[in-house]
Amino acid sequence: MSAADTTAAPATRAPSNSYWRLVFRRLRRNRPAMAGLVCLVVVILAAVTAPIIAPYDPMKVSLADAYQSPNAAHLMGTDKLGRDILSRVLWGSRNSLKTGFFAVLWGLAIGGVLGSLALWGGRIVDAVVMRFTDVLLAFPGILLAIGVISWLGRGDVQMTLAVGLSLAPIFTRLLRASLLSLQESDFVLALRSVGVPRRQILFRHMLPNALTPLIVQATLQLGTTILTVAGLGFLGLGPEDPRIPEWGTMLIEGAQMIQTFPHLVLGPGACLVAIVVSVNLLGDGLRDALDPRVRR
Report the interface residues with another protein, using CB under 8 A: 1-4, 6-8, 131-132, 134-135, 138-143, 146-147, 150-151, 223, 227, 230-231, 234-237, 248, 251-252, 254-255, 258-259, 262, 265-266, 269, 272-273, 276-277, 280-281, 284, 292, 295-296
CB atoms within 10 A of CB 36: 25
DSSP codes of every residue in 139-179: S-THHHHHHHHHHH-SSHHHHHHHHHHHHHHHHHHHHHHHH
- Min dist CB 103 to another protein, Å, is 16
Which C-beta is closer to another protein: that of 193 or that of 260?
Answer: 260
- Min dist CB 19 to another protein, Å, is 14
Rounded Cα distance between 52 and 90, Å, is: 10
- Min dist CB 265 to another protein, Å, is 5
Which C-beta is closer to another protein: that of 122 or that of 153?
Answer: 153
Which C-beta is closer to another protein: that of 7 or that of 49?
Answer: 7
Which C-beta is closer to another protein: that of 152 or that of 190?
Answer: 152
- Min dist CB 60 to another protein, Å, is 26
Which C-beta is closer to another protein: that of 179 or that of 289?
Answer: 289
By CB atoms closer than 10 A (0-12, 13-18, 19+), residue 62 is middle
Rounded Cα distance between 127 and 276, Å, is: 35
- Min dist CB 168 to another protein, Å, is 14
Q: Are 275 and 222 in contact (CB under 8 A)?
A: no
Distance, first Cα to last Cα, the chain: 16
- Min dist CB 99 to another protein, Å, is 15
Query: Could you give the maximum distance between any two Cα atoms of the chain, in Å?
Result: 78
Which C-beta is closer to another protein: that of 143 or that of 189?
Answer: 143
Residue partners of 162: CB distance under 8 A and separation at least 6: 144, 145, 148, 149, 152, 232
Helix axes 17-29, 2-12, angle to 10 degrees: 100
